[in-house]
Each structure stands twice: as structure tokens, then as C-alpha cells.
Homo-oligomer: A and B are copies of this chain.
């Protein structure tokens, strides 16, 4: 049965170490994390779980990306061999706390716009099959403090519309 989920934020802060460890080494015994945060079922942990379900590709189209927890999840997927492509907004990628430089250094393909208008999308497509989209910018402030929504939609028609938009932007922002 296709995934249909709505996540509302703010999310309680939570530890995602167990989720990351399980994704890095499935079945390995979990080491307890020393941080004081609870590891419960939250909007953030659900979002991370959806992202970590990627097996082949992850296409990201994000106005801003400064949340270290989500950046760790993306880096883990990249190390696991998932093809990650990231499109972002030029004005925001240089700001303090942006994770874009770190992801680029890790070897992830990043492209950004050249225009005065904002690249204001905030969506992800997992394995060209699952669309994750909403109002949420990928910042810790938005996750923990704002009222936000994220839809998770496994529906070929909606996914295709966003995948096509991603490919258009990816080509348009090709620097070569």
C-alpha cells in the first residue's frame, strides 16, 4: 500500500543516532547515545526514516539546508552509494550554518540558481518513487520552532510532476 503521510511541525527535539546507526549497519547492536535527547517517534524522526529508505537515488530541491541532523542522513545515504543530487538557492547557500559546503566536500553533486528570484522549493524525491514536500525549510529553527507541514506522497502522478521539475532545474543550473 503506497505511503501517504502528513507531518506537522514543530517537532520535539529528538536523537536520531539510533536511526542513523541502523541505516549505516543494519542489524548491528545499537550503542546507546550519550546525548540527553529522547529518541521517540517525532515528526523529525519520521522525516529522517523516509529519507533513509532511499536505495538508489535522492533528489533534493531545497531553498535552504542548515540542519546538521538532516545533513548527516544525506551524507550517510551518499556513502551508502545512493545517488544524491542537490539543488539549492544561491543567496542562502553561503549563509552561516549552511550544510551545503560540507555536503559538496563530501562529494555530493550540488547545483544552485543564478537568478534574482528565489529557488524556494523544499522537496525531496526518494528513488524516483516517493515525494516529500511542504512548507518546511531544512533548518533546525524551522523543525523545532515553526508551524510547518510536510506531505509524503507515493503517487506516480505527483512524483512525476516534481521529478520533471527537478530535471528542468538540474539542467538549467548546469554550470558547464
Residues of A within 8 A of B (CB): 4, 6, 8, 10, 63, 113, 115-123, 133-136, 141-142, 144-149, 151, 157-158, 161-162, 165, 169
Contacts and interface: CB of A to CB of B under 8 A. Distances in A.
A148 B135 contact: no
A18 to B, nearest CB: 27
A116 B134 contact: no
Q: Looking at chain A's contact residues, is the secondary structure mostly helix, strand, loop, or mixed?
A: mixed
Nearest to A165: B8
Contacts of A133: 134-135, 149, 151
B134 A118 contact: no
Given A8-B165, A161-B6, A135 B121 contact: yes
A10 B120 CA distance: 10
Contacts of A148: 120-121
B117 A158 contact: no
A140 to B, nearest CB: 12
10 contacts: A6-B162, A63-B135, A115-B145, A117-B141, A117-B146, A117-B147, A119-B146, A120-B142, A121-B149, A122-B135
A50 to B, nearest CB: 16
A54 to B, nearest CB: 21
A49 to B, nearest CB: 18
A71 B63 CA distance: 26
A161 B6 CA distance: 7
B123 A147 contact: no
Q: Which 10 A-B pairs have the closest CB atoms?
A: A117-B145, A6-B161, A120-B146, A118-B146, A117-B146, A119-B147, A120-B148, A120-B135, A121-B135, A122-B135
- Which of A4, A136, A141, A147 counts the most chain B CB atoms within 10 A? A147
